Amino acid sequence: MKKALFTLALAGFAFAANAQFVVGGQLGFNTTGGTNSYEQNGAAAAYDVPNTKTTGLTIAPSVGYVLNEKMQAGLSINYTFGTTTTYTALAYANDKETYSKINRNTFEIAPYFRYYFATVGKFNFFCQAELGLALQPRTSGHNYNNNVAPNTPVTDVDTKGATSTTTLRFSVTPGVNYRINERFSADLYIDLAGLTFEHTSTKTYGANVGTGASAHWDEDFLVNTNKDNTFRLNANTSDQTLMAHLNNFRLGFNYHF
């Protein structure tokens, strides 16, 4: 028995020593903002109000195992966090603490299989198939408004979104891998030429429940579940803005063990 365990241990060590693992991923951050200036008009003084502010962070680590020179299999985990803060012009002018904020989170786990079909110098062209399960829980947020009429209470409440979403995704995306050196490489995913099938289940919450004196609003009451199927071949190219075109490409970096 000990000899068998020792043999298995040696075999496992030999496999690990010869295994070719790839660790990589994608990291993204974006933010928008600005100021809207209101000019003085009669008795009203000029004032500035922040535009709607958005912030987004995407972390997508991945780990893969090189099966052979043509094939690679692995797992990616995608996490996205975003916030949207909105200001109302007149309310903000009177009380600069007035705002409405919404937080969004999305988590996806996606095993993948990659096949390299052509090599030109340091460029390796591939197609990657992914099966992803994404969860987007209800948003959270906070509303604060001290600019209220006399004898009216201040608005200072936590908020919860009305919907949560679960998405099952299958996609095939072409791309190109550039081998920088023995240890590092970069991936360019070309979503513009990919295809995607998605099955989405959206749950909607919030309804007036009870009757008479017991009637009340229940924000956690499940109203309905809507299911949608979507198939996309190529990305939408009708939008001619630079950002729309750049969104059809994703860049990732890898470290090869």
> 50 versus 137: which is more confidently predicted?
137
| Cα–Cα dist 172/231, whole Å | 12
Domain ranges of the chain: 22-256
Concatenated DSSP letters of 75-124:
EEEEEEEEEEEE--HHHHHH-TT-EEEEEEEEEEEEEEEEEEEEEETTEE
User: What share of the chain in percent tops pLDDT 90?
Assistant: 49
Residue 91 has pLDDT above 60, yes or no: yes
User: What share of the chain in percent tops pLDDT 70?
Assistant: 81
**DSSP at 41:** B
pLDDT at residue 19, rounded to an integer:
55
pLDDT at residue 38, rounded to an integer:
75
Local confidence band at 15 (pLDDT 50, 70, 90 cut-offs): very low
* Section 211-217 average pLDDT: 85
Model pTM score: 0.77
pLDDT at residue 177, rounded to an integer:
95
Half-sphere exposure (Cβ direction) of 20: Cα atoms closer than 13 Å: 13
Other CB atoms within 10 Å distance of the CB of residue 221? 12
Give SS3 for 234: coil
